[in-house]
């Protein structure tokens, strides 16, 4: 019976522990930021390339 109570107590402590949830939240935030950076670079990439092409063609030689 003592072993059952110990297991139940351990399980309750596990459910109350929020350290893993915090790590997952930070990972989700980092993933969201990474997606935003990739989307921005992809969206601006072609316009930046066009701008450098225009500047390059403005100079002779």
Domains in the chain: boundaries: 19-61
- Distance (Å, whole) CA 18 – CA 55: 54
Predicted local confidence at residue 61, as pLDDT? 67
- Distance (Å, whole) CA 55 – CA 59: 7
Predicted TM-score (pTM) of the model is 0.52
Predicted local confidence at residue 2, as pLDDT? 66
pLDDT band at 26 (very low <50, low <70, confident <90, very high): very high
Interval 30-53: pLDDT, tens: 999 999 999 999 989 888 888 999
Q: How high does pLDDT run on average in the chain? A: 86
For Cα atoms 49, 50, 55, give the angle at the middle one, nearest 5 degrees: 100
Residue 1 has pLDDT above 70, yes or no: no
């Amino acid at each position: 019976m003592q072993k059952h109570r110990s297991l139940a107590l351990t399980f309750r402590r596990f459910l109350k522990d929020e350290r893993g949830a915090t790590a997952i939240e930070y990972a989700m935030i980092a993933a969201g930021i990474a997606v935003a950076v990739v989307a921005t670079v992809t969206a601006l990439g072609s316009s930046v390339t066009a701008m450098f092409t225009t500047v390059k063609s403005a100079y002779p030689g």
